[in-house]
Amino acid sequence: MKAVSTIVIAVAFASTVLSGPASADIARGEKNFKRCKACHSLTEGKKLTGPSLYRVYGRKAAAVPKFRYSRGLREAAEKGLVWNRESLMGYLRHPKKFLQKYLGKKRVSNKMVNKFKKKKFRRDVIDYLESVSK
């Protein structure tokens, strides 16, 4: 009996780990992303006011060819910034403060003006971006 309960627990744990974050809500993330669509596309090569976010998750920052990024974002890219869960959580919360901290500078230039203070909102958007980046 003990072996059976151990197997059940192991299967439940594995399914949770393999299905992604317990807090993932990709449908809500897609809905939340509508606030980003005014400036960003998810279509490869389609630039709006902001660069295309096609496959942004896991990509080096400032990597869309022929897009004029801010100096701050270009410097962060030169320093090795890659868009992952941690970096996106910080950047989406407060882009300018994130770059200031990342670059160790008091003054940085940045074009992103939106700030998303709610952690769940940012997490869902990031889960959505990760899902469409595969």
Instruction: Fill in the amino acid letter for 53.
Output: L
The burial of 99, by beta-carbon neighbours within 10 Å (0-12 exposed, 13-18 middle, 19 or more buried), is given as buried
The burial of 103, by beta-carbon neighbours within 10 Å (0-12 exposed, 13-18 middle, 19 or more buried), is given as middle
Query: Which of these CATH numbers, 1.20.58.390, 3.30.420.40, 1.10.760.10, 3.40.50.720, describes 25-132?
Result: 1.10.760.10
- Evaluate whether 77 touches 63 at the Cβ level (below 8 Å): yes
User: What tens digit of pLDDT does each residue of 65-105 get?
Assistant: 999 999 999 999 999 999 999 999 999 999 999 999 999 99
User: What tens digit of pLDDT does each residue of 17-58 get?
Assistant: 444 444 568 999 999 999 999 999 999 999 999 999 999 999
Give the domain ranges of the chain.
Answer: 25-132
